[in-house]
Copies of this chain bind each other. A is one copy, B any other.
Amino acid sequence: MPAPSVDRLRNIATQLRIDSVRSTTEAGSGHPTTCLSAADIVAALFFAEMRFDPADPQHPEADRFVLSKGHGAPLLYAAWAAAGAFPREAVMDLRKIGSDLEGHPTPRLPFVDVATGSLGQGLAAGVGIALNARRIGSEYRTYVLVGDGESAEGAVWEAAQIAAFQQLDNLCGITDVNALGQSGGTLFGRDLEALARRWRAFGWHAVAIDGHDIAAILQALAEARAMSGRPTMILARTFKGRGVSLFEGADNWHGKPLKKGADLDRAMAELDAQIVATDDPAPVIPKPARRHDEGPLPDFAAAMPAPAYRKGDAVATREAYGTALVALGAIDARVVALDADVKNSTFSDRFERAHPDRFYQSFIAEQVMVGSAMGLASRGALPFPSSFACFLERASDFIRMAGISNLNIKLAGSHAGVSIGEDGPSQMALEDLAMMRAVPNATVFYPCDAVSAERLTALAASTPGPVYLRMSRPKTPVIYDAGERFEVGGSKTLRAGDADVATVVAAGVTVFEALAAHASLSAEGIGIRVIDAYSIQPIDRDGLIAAARATGLRVVTVEDHYANGGLGDAVSEALGSLGARVHRLAVREIPRSGTPAELLDRYGISARAIIDAVRRLRA
């Protein structure tokens, strides 16, 4: 195959500029100037560097491209159209409700692996995508186009350090250094050396070039390809709005398209004039050499061995999680685990010992842990990132974007609630259910004992999309038979009688408080129905409605979580149109250090509080 012609690549870049300008003008919104700064880089990447099949963007061995600066979406769409993935004129549907060419890229499009547009996330996803190449033994390379403005995000530097730690020489970043953010200049402006010093200090090979010089771009990409043992960052000096005189160098054009009429006509004329006559052959995109498909995932829930506990054993759910994770990893090699330096608390260290080649240490950097899990999931791995539940909130915005991408990631958070005890509020997850339930396509499980923890971990693996497992620190007694079945949207009725005066809905550690309340009230001849709502989202609406109806529409919810966004909310919504009276027991102030039992009682989620609530509802 002949070397790609620079003239041809220049013309492609001009075409990408034309399409970026006219599609945003047609849409009446969007970010043309940021497309124009990166058009030469993208033309070189797509038509002289990357190996892929435009007709099969998800080919497992194809090189990957992540547009971290997601507001450059029109350029991405123009490039895939130019490559033949869809008809060029479709770019004019940009941002229309009937088109998947959205304002920022999402995986609704087959050529998008992870949604971008929340800046600073693309490189972490790229780390995961590059790790996946190693996982499947593929030569594919991963390219991430980063904005200089977004390089201020700490998440970029978390990704940088892990890429270097993992020696990802199959990962190449290109920073579009156009020196302008949305509202002003970037931190470093055009000081490429200052940027290069940062990347080098974080262990990368860094090279500075003129980002509008196609030959220089090609040379830098070749240099990156030849690099061994470390990732490469190409720092490309560019001009925002390059090629359109109205835009170029101006700083008040961010996120603004040209108006139809004279402005657009002038820009089109300028861009048309940049097309050079050439007889060089058109570039041919090389396809991936081989294709290895991993096939569908197994039915993990069915394949898992039965839990090896007896009723009454005292085992923390976090420990059962670690045991289940090892078993899942033995069932399928796509199961991987990620940690942020708490593996000995979450028990993911068991997975590391069993499957060391599929365990990724992120150190104390939760954003890259979740971001690289997103990248891994986008390429077919089944990642289980875990940490203390409260520290997953550090990655809240990544989790939001994982929801938008509908990625198959399984988050596990341990040390939920005040029941952790003495470590104090900074270590207690009391808003993690609110965070995860706010992801509309997320499934949320909250086991109370080791059997349900193992079963729900397996069910998480079998349930598509984002899943969250909430785990507790203290040991709790096993209450379920090893053969007990659990399902998405299910619940367990643990106590029920004909004359129950109220339904108590609990989950996790509060199940045991509800059982204790039942025992006390029973002694007085008062019956309550006790439900273990292990599936927080979706919740067992029908089961809850039936229980509420059977108990005089009196319901108490009790959770080791703040009052908002958790179990009480889920139950209230499920019962919304029933007209039930729902009394919510939850933590309603910032807690403090103390023993677990002291804290459960002080914050009103103990058996005593449940008994009081039942009495009040009857009054």
Contact = CB atoms under 8 A, between A and B. Distances in A.
Contacts of A440: 562-564, 587-590
Interface in A588-609: 588-590, 592-595, 598-599, 602
A286 to B, nearest CB: 32
Contact of A364 (B150, B157, B341, B587): B150
Interface centre among A161, A165, A344, A397 (most CB of B within 10 A): A397
A250 to B, nearest CB: 14
A116 B426 contact: yes
Contacts of A341: 149, 152, 181-184
B573 A365 contact: no
Contacts of A562: 438, 440
Contacts of A361: 184
A592 B99 CA distance: 9
Interface string A180-194: 011110110000001
Contact of A396 (B153, B365, B394): B394
Given A572-B572, A578-B581, A403 B590 contact: yes
Nearest to A118: B426
Nearest to A198: B201
Nearest to A367: B154
A189 to B, nearest CB: 12
Contacts of A97: 592-595, 598-599, 602
Interface residues on A, range: 35 or more
A565 B158 contact: no
A198 B187 contact: no
Contacts of A396: 393-394, 396-397, 435
Contacts of A362: 152
Interface-central residue, A95, A181, A424, A580, by most chain B CB under 10 Å: A424
Interface stretch (A1-9, A102-110, A167-175, A274-282): A102-110
A391 interface: yes
A441 B592 contact: no
A115 interface: yes
A573 B572 contact: yes
Nearest to A31: B423
Contacts of A393: 396-397, 400
A161 B165 contact: no
Given A154-B365, A422-B95, A565-B434, A390 B102 contact: no
Given A158-B154, A344-B182, A365-B153, A438 B434 contact: yes
A156 B161 CA distance: 13
A106 B592 CA distance: 9
A576 B572 contact: yes
A259 interface: no
Interface of A: 27-30, 70, 95-97, 99-100, 102-104, 106, 108, 115-120, 149-150, 152-158, 161, 165, 181-184, 186-187, 194, 197-198, 200-202, 339, 341-345, 349, 361-365, 367-368, 390-391, 393-394, 396-397, 400-401, 403-404, 406, 421-427, 430-431, 434-435, 437-441, 537, 553, 562-565, 568-570, 572-573, 576-584, 587-590, 592-595, 598-599, 602, 617
